[in-house]
Amino acid sequence: MNELHRQAQRSDEPELFDQDTAYSEQDDSFLEINLHRIFAAIRRNLIWIILAVVICAALGILATMLMVPKYQATSTILVEQEADQIIENSELTPVGSYQDAERFLQTQVDVIESRALALRVIQDEDLANDPRFFEGFSADMPSAENAPDNVTGEEALANYRQDQALKLLSENLKVSLPATSRLVAIQFESADPVLSARIANAVAENYIESNLNRKFDSSSYARSFLSQQLDEARQQLEESERELNQYSREAGLIRVTSQGNDKNDTTLSVTNDSLVQANSAASSATAARIEAEDRWRNIANVPVLSVTQVLTNPAVQNLLQERSRVETELAKERARHLEEHPSVQALVAQVEQLNQRIESIGNSIKRAVYLDYQSALDQEKSLENRVSDLRNSALDEQDRGVQFNVLKRVTETNRALYDSLLERYNQLNATAGAASNNVSIVDRAAIPRVPSSPNLVMNLALSILLGLALATAIVFLREYFDDVIRAPDDVERKLGLPLLGLVPKTDENALRQINIDRKSDVSEAYHSLVTNLNYATRNGLPRSLVITSAQEGEGKTSSASAIAYDLARLGRKVLLIDGDLRRPTVHRYYGVPKQKGLTDLLAGLMSFEDAIFQTEDQPNLFYMTALPIPPDPSVLLGGPRMGEVLQQAEQLFDTVIIDSPPLLGLSDAPTLAAHAEAVMVIIDASQGHRGAIKAALRRLHLVHANVLGAVLTKFDPQAAGGDYGYYGYKYYRYGRDETAEA
């Protein structure tokens, strides 16, 4: 009845511990911004923060020192939208309006950054064949040794060098145009200051020259320049024509004009026709050889009488029929005579002779197949040799044709260039006006004396920012995965339990002197705990209270003894039961090493009155030891006798305090909690991990235990950090100094 009354009382009281609510509140509180928690986290991880910042700063300085210094040279050009016209209406291209000035200037910037102008600079300065240009970017000039495998031949290598030079030039060229100015800044950056100034000036000069080429119909200078270019193109065309004809004569290449609309010259080759025919014959010979080889491999290791060609041979078929007939007669003779009989031996000799003849004919047929295979193989090799000879001849001819095509393309290019220049020159002569250039150099690029990069200050600042970001990530991860219960807020925030008491960290001797020095810090802490317990439930102090913890060594016995003593001092009749049948400690605490108690009581070897002993210094405090240690404590505690003992104790005493074993790994504590009216959890602030305590609370929740709250023992304000400094100096010492003086 008492147990039913206790369960009903629990159902009327509000449940103090809800796992789901506690976990959700914990997750929500983690996302809240709490400056005090942030500062506390920074203090706890200050070494990691400093280490991350120092390492990143050191890496930034080291990277800066390892970087190759680069120098940036700048040339400035002025771009006017219109040039001064010498003769009115002499422009071949229309001039844009002033409303289109911004687009015009941006177009000029795009022209300077264009691939065409970059190629012009590379060709004008011969950058593709200049080792110093590639050294300015810590690169090697492409050669036959370091070029990719797909780059073969002088022309391909030259094109590859040009592409690499174009890539380097484009990546390190920067053109900027201010919003309120017509001055265009051309900047080039490399590891060589002289090279930077040279390229910056070369880009400006080639841009001006290319602009003149586009406007050469507007000035006499452009016409004279075009005339010079036309003479050079004519000479190049004549030279290329002579070189092409001379090489064609020396190489013995026949030049004919193709029929149709294409008037380009081609070459005739007899070697190619012979190669095609020989290659076709070689392919046929290979197919014949493969067929003969397959026939031979199919019968090479096969018995004679398993070969299809042998079995289909008429002579072999006749011999097989003859052998069958003789074997039939031999079987008849063996049925009438013994093996030594002359007729039997004669027939046996005849069968062996027939077998030899069959074997001889079969081997001859296989030999013929092998000879066919050898003949096909010899013919294939002969044709392959012929094809190889013709291929070499064709390749030699193609090599000669490559040079011919190169010279031919040069000639065609020169002819096209000459025709284009001549046509343009005729157009210029037909025009009646000229104009000056609208682009001019304002400042030529000077050789820079100070490197533009690397910037130590900027790199160091970026490294420090990166270090702070890394430190922030480290602090976040460490705090997120930190499950240590070290502060009062952690009990409520991480576990969802109310904090009933806070016991400061002290030594073992101070714990032993709690009952002597009633005004020590630890004693005052337990006085506050007892006061809170008096208001823990709506009915006040519970009649029976189990004191347990997740792990051993967290202060259960000391807390149980101190609470029992304080309650007895307040006039309540208190019984302290040592419920730890595995490692009992109460008998040592009160100095009775051989006093039997709960074990014999549960085993029925002792009465309840004989198992209870009164303390010497406090008449209201009684205790019950756990001696002797039983072989199977869980059986004794899990039996019906334990509930009867608690009922009897609650009838005789005002309060029953049970010192329970740890929760993790044992069934003793949940069993005691199921019989008691309430449970209080002891948490060691120096080693209490949230995961272990949550697992312990889940076990209590499974047996429907009434968990009043938690007591945080061995609390160190310095280790907790944050706003917990007030727990230290004089927290439990109000009035103690005046008492000492009195």
Q: What per-residue confidence (pLDDT) applies to 251?
A: 66
Vertex 511 angle, CA 506 and 516, to 5°: 125
By the 8 A CB rule, do 513 and 34 touch? no
Q: What is the mean pLDDT of residues 413-431?
A: 77
Q: What per-residue confidence (pLDDT) applies to 87?
A: 43
Q: What is the mean pLDDT of residues 297-308?
A: 71
Q: What per-residue confidence (pLDDT) applies to 14?
A: 38
Give the separation between CA 3 and CA 677, rounded to whole angstroms: 9
Asked whether the CA dihedral 37, 48, 491, 522 is positive or negative, the reply is: negative
By the 8 A CB rule, do 706 and 470 touch? no
Tell the residue number behind the tokens 């920012």, with chain if given: 465
List the domain boundaries for the chain: 20-69+462-482, 72-219+435-443, 270-400, 543-718
Q: How many CA atoms lie within 13 A of 437 on its CB side?
A: 19
- pLDDT-derived band at 585, boundaries 50, 70, 90: confident
Task: List the structure tokens of 557.
Answer: 């016995």
CA distances to 25, 402, 461, 695 from 493, rounded to whole Å, are 7, 84, 38, 16
- pLDDT-derived band at 3, boundaries 50, 70, 90: very low
**Closest-CA residue to 667 (of 648, 639, 688):** 639
**Closest-CA residue to 456 (of 73, 60, 192):** 60
pLDDT per residue as tens digits for the range 158-200: 888 888 889 988 888 999 888 878 888 999 988 888 888 988 8
Residue ranges with strand state E in 348-498: 439-443
Q: What per-residue confidence (pLDDT) applies to 488?
A: 77
Q: Is the pLDDT at 621 greater than 80, yes or no?
A: yes
Between helix 641-652 and helix 2-12 the angle, nearest 10°, is 80
Q: What per-residue confidence (pLDDT) applies to 624?
A: 93
Q: Is the pLDDT at 546 greater than 80, yes or no?
A: yes
pLDDT per residue as tens digits for the range 480-521: 776 677 677 777 777 788 888 888 877 655 555 555 556 677
What pTM was computed for the model?
A: 0.45
**Closest-CA residue to 608 (of 617, 600, 616):** 600
Q: How many CA atoms lie within 13 A of 253 on its CB side?
A: 23
Query: N- to C-terminal Cα distance for the chain?
Result: 55
CA distances to 117, 125, 156, 288, 321 from 129, rounded to whole Å, are 18, 9, 14, 55, 88
Q: Is the pLDDT at 263 greater than 60, yes or no?
A: no
Whether CATH 3.40.50.300 fits 543-718 = yes
Q: What is the mean pLDDT of residues 628-642?
A: 87
Q: What per-residue confidence (pLDDT) applies to 5?
A: 41
**242-250: Cβ within 8 A, 24+ apart:** 243/407, 243/410, 243/411, 244/404, 244/407, 244/408, 244/410, 244/411, 247/403, 247/404, 247/407, 248/404
By the 8 A CB rule, do 226 and 216 touch? yes
Task: List the structure tokens of 75.
Answer: 């040339």
By the 8 A CB rule, do 207 and 215 touch? no
By the 8 A CB rule, do 597 and 585 touch? no
- pLDDT-derived band at 733, boundaries 50, 70, 90: low
| Chain mean pLDDT for the chain | 77
Give the separation between CA 164 and CA 146, rounded to whole angstroms: 13
Chain centroid to Cα 296, Å, comes to 58
By the 8 A CB rule, do 128 and 147 touch? no
Q: What per-residue confidence (pLDDT) applies to 649?
A: 92
